[in-house]
Amino acid sequence: MSFTGMLTYWLVVGLYQSIHYYHAAMERQTIAAQLEMQLSHAELENLKSQLHPHFLFNSLHTIGILMQEDVDAASHLLVSLGDLLRMALERRENEITLQSELEFVGKYLEIELTRFHDRLKVHMDVPPDPLEVYVPSLALQPLVENAIKHGFSVDSAAGRLEIAAKLHNGRVRLCVRDDGPGPAPGSRLRFGVGLTNVQSRLKQLYGDGASLELTGGDGRGCEAIITIPLRSSH
């Protein structure tokens, strides 16, 4: 082989190798960027599922109108919304006491009750003994929001919301029930984004030891039940 022939050969081999490495590097970069995007997307979805934009903007509008009618009521509602946002943004622990979770739900309901005071009635059935047990943070609120969204908000005859918690056979049982139209007869209940999130977090935290069930009432209403193992510290 002549010298020029050798040179051409190695040039071609070298060029091929560099293109190959360049592609591999690009691919790694793309995968890393995709992973990062998925992660931030998941975080954003998580925040959105905790506080729906619809809820947030309606609440701000309510405050704006109340401001012109009753300054004290407006400032009270503004503080509730502020508390709620702080709790949602700061919450980093996976598990909190049921008492803290109920406080969060309470703030949320306070705002909904101001918006719909003449229609919505909330009944809480929580004895003192489960208050100190640990439950996944932001697990109850999506259930309540779901009941309002699919029960109360679509049917003007609905207006009762029940929240119950109890200890049973070494497990904690949280239940949210509405009196909305419930699922159409024969249709299957499906989880939306909020409930799917709750379910995957339960799976992460407790494996198969926890469950989220959604059942239709007898012709009316819907009931969501979370069952988790009993823990008094996390």
Partner 1 sequence: MKTRVLIVDDEPIARRGIRRYLAEHNGIEIAGEAANGISAVEQINELHPDIVFLDVQMPDLDGFGVIENVEPVNGPAPIYIFVTAHDVHAIRAFEVHAVDYLLKPYDKERFAKALVHARQVLEQRREANRDLEPLLQSLRSLRPLERFVVKDNKRIFFVPVSNVLWIEATGNYACIHTASDSHLLRETLAHLEEKLAPHQFVRVRKSAIVNGACISEIRPMFDGVYDIVLAGGTVVTSSRRYAHKLRALLES
Binding site for partner 1 (CB under 8 A): 53-54, 56-58, 60-66, 68-69, 114-118, 152-156, 158
- Give the Å distances, CA to CA, from 213 to 12, 106, 133, 137, 191: 63, 23, 20, 18, 10
Nearer to partner 1, 54 or 86 (CB): 54
The alpha carbon of residue 143 and the mean position of all alpha carbons in its chain are separated, in whole angstroms, by 9
Shortest Å distance, C-beta 108 to partner 1: 16
Q: Which is nearer to partner 1, 150 or 201 (CB)?
A: 150
Phi then psi for residue 19, to 5 deg, are -60, -40
183 vs 229, which CB is nearer to partner 1? 183
We find the least distance from the C-beta atom of residue 204 to partner 1, in angstroms, to be 30
Residue 124, classed as helix, strand or coil, is strand
Q: How far is the CB of 81 from partner 1 (least distance, A)?
A: 12
CB of 21 to partner 1, least distance (A): 45
Give Cα separations from 192 to 31, 146, 199, 206 (angstroms): 28, 9, 11, 21
Cα dist. 95→25, 48, 126, 227, 230 in Å? 40, 19, 19, 14, 12
Report the residue number, 114 or 197, with the smaller CB distance to partner 1. Answer: 114
- Whichever of 88 and 174 has its CB closer to partner 1, that residue is 88
Identity of the residue, 156 or 187, whose beta carbon is nearer to partner 1 in the bound complex: 156
CA-to-CA separations, 48 to 41, 87, 116, 184, in angstroms, rounded = 10, 14, 22, 27
Q: CB neighbours of 231 closer than 8 A, spacing ≥ 6?
A: 95, 133, 134
Q: Is the CB of 25 or the CB of 65 nearer to partner 1?
A: 65
Q: Smallest distance from the beta carbon of 64 to partner 1, in angstroms? A: 5
CB 79, min distance to partner 1, A: 17
Q: Which residue is it, tokens 């591999």? A: 24
Least separation in angstroms between CB 152 and partner 1: 8
Per DSSP, the three-state class of 223 is: strand
